[in-house]
Every structure is written in structure tokens, then in C-alpha cells.
Structure 1
Amino acid sequence: MADRCPKTRALSALLDGQTPPRQRRNLLAHIDHCAACGEMLRELETLRDRLHALPPERLGFDLGAVIEARIRAHSRPSGRTRRPALRWLLFPLGGAAALTLGLHLGSTLLRPPAGDVPQGPAMLTMAVFDPIPPGNLCPVPKSCPSGNDFR
């Protein structure tokens, strides 16, 4: 019978008088035949009676008045006066600072750092594709593309 028993919420609503008449009749008929639901209803009645017997709690102050006073204090204008004439400078100055920083950071990507530049003679990057590798003897003096005039 426990699989068809009403939930605790339905029993609590019955106890508080918040159930429609038809559902009330069905719940009371079920409670007459189900010992577990009858016990649960008695426990809920005992709990309700004990809660109503407690003395009412009172705050030592009015919380609403405290909140309203804080809202009023926060919404009051401060003694400082704002200068709207200088406010228009914020956007152009911010844009100029962002543009300057962007140009500076972008230029660091284009030029190599000072420590990575080789100190010797400039190397030819396409020398790998020469017909004669560097350091070999030339079979014919005119076939070697070198900068010296030993031909």
C-alpha cells in the first residue's frame, strides 16, 4: 500500500486545509485504511502544534529602516563636483595610448632582437642551391660564382 500513499506535502496541505474537497475526501479515506499515513498525519499535527506554541521572535531593530537609510545615503550626491568638460578627453587619450602600444608591440615583431644578429659576414641563404657546395674546388674557374678575382 506504500506505493499508493500520498506524499508528505499532500498530508501537510490536508492538515493546513489547503486541499480541494474531493481530494480531501480521498486522502481521509486513504488515511482510515493506511496506518503509516495515519501515523505521518499525527506526527505532522504534533509538529504544527509545537511550532505554534513557540514564542514569536522579534528583532531588536527594524531591518527595513536600516536598508532604506543605506539606500538613501548611497543615492545622495557627493560633495565633489564633476567636470564634464574634461570627460571628453578620456576616449581620445585612451585610443591614442592603445594605438601607441599596439604600434610599439607590432614593431618588435618586425625587427630582430639585438642579440640574434650574426656578427660575421652576411650569409647567403640560397647558397644551399648552388651547383658547387661551399668549400669545394671549381672544376672550371669560370663556373665558380665567387667574389674573389682568382679566375
Structure 2
Amino acid sequence: MADHCPRTLALSALLDGQLQPRQRRELLAHIDRCAACGERLRELETLRSRFQALPQERLGFDLGAVIEARLRVQPRPSRTARRPGMRWLLFPLSGAAALTLGLYLGSTLIRSMAGDMPAGPPMLAMAVFDPIPPGNLCPVPKSCPSGNGFR
């Protein structure tokens, strides 16, 4: 029987008198046969009567008028407060700076691969991971490859 039971919305519409006469008769016939729906209808009737017993509260003033008055008092940002000035140059200049920097850094990479860089001592980039970093004193003279205590 519970599969064909009406929703709570239909029971509430019955209490509020918002159903068509045919729907009202069908729903009342169902409630007579279904104990669960009858119990739910009694719960809704109790809830409705308790809500109606609550005292009516009045705010005492129109909240909408108060909010509208506050909105009217707040200053609106004027169009003259924003000065675009040279702002239109921001994007082209930043794009040109990025392009120039990219070309310069790219050309230094190409030059170093082509061998245009001056010849000097080879840079040992992996020396940073040695047990004794470059420029430090050796704790024991025999631990340094040169053997003089300096590296």
C-alpha cells in the first residue's frame, strides 16, 4: 500500500483546501484504507494547529525601507575616479618586454652552443654535490684530491 501513497504535499494541499473535488474524494478514500497516510495527516493537522496558535509577531517597521534608505546614502563610485591614463600601453609594453627578454636569453643559449663564448676553466656544476663544497677547507689533508688541505 505504501507504494501508492500520496506525497506529503498532497496531504498538505488537502488540509489547505487546495484540491479539486475529484482529487479530494480520491485522497480521502485512500486515507480511509491506509493507516500510515491517516497518521501522517493527523501529524500535519497537529502541526498546523500549533502554528496557528503561535502569537503573530510584528516587526514594527518596514525593513525594506530601511535598506533602501541605506543604499541611497552610500556614495556611488564616480566615473571620474577612474583615470585610465596610459593604462592602454600596459599590455603592448609588457608583451614587448617579454619578447625582448626571450630573444636575448635565447640568443645567449645559441651563442654558448656555437662556441662563441670565451674559453675559460670548465665549470663544474656538479661539484656542489661533493662531500666538500668548492672553496671550503678539507677536514683531513688526505681527503682532498690535491692533498694540500685546500681545494
Bin of the TM-score, shorter chain as denominator length:
0.5 to 0.7
Counterpart for residue 51 of structure 2: 51
Alignment of 1:95-134 (within 5 A): 95-112=88-105, 118-120=117-119
Moved over 3 A (4+): 80-83
Report the CA distance between 1:77 and its aligned residue: 6.2
- C-alpha separation in 1, matches of 2:99 and 2:79: 41
Greater Cα radius of gyration, structure 1 or 2 = 1
Check 1:111–1:52 CA distance in 2 against 1; reply closer, same or farther (3 A cut).
same
Per-residue CA deviations over 1:38-87 (Å, capped at 9, x if unaligned) read 1111111111000000112233543112111022223x668x8948xx95
Structure 1 gap ranges (5+): 122-151
Report the CA distance between 1:32 and its aligned residue: 1.4
- C-alpha separation in 2, matches of 1:72 and 1:120: 75
State the number of aligned residues: 114
Counterpart for residue 41 of structure 1: 41
Alignment of 1:1-151 (within 5 A): 1-59=1-59, 61-74=61-74, 82=80, 90=84, 93-112=86-105, 118-120=117-119
- TM-score, normalised relative to structure 1: 0.62
Check 1:29–1:107 CA distance in 2 against 1; reply closer, same or farther (3 A cut).
same
- C-alpha separation in 2, matches of 1:97 and 1:35: 75
- C-alpha separation in 2, matches of 1:77 and 1:35: 62
Check 1:81–1:107 CA distance in 2 against 1; reply closer, same or farther (3 A cut).
closer
Q: Which has the higher contact order (CA 8 A, sep 6+)?
A: 1
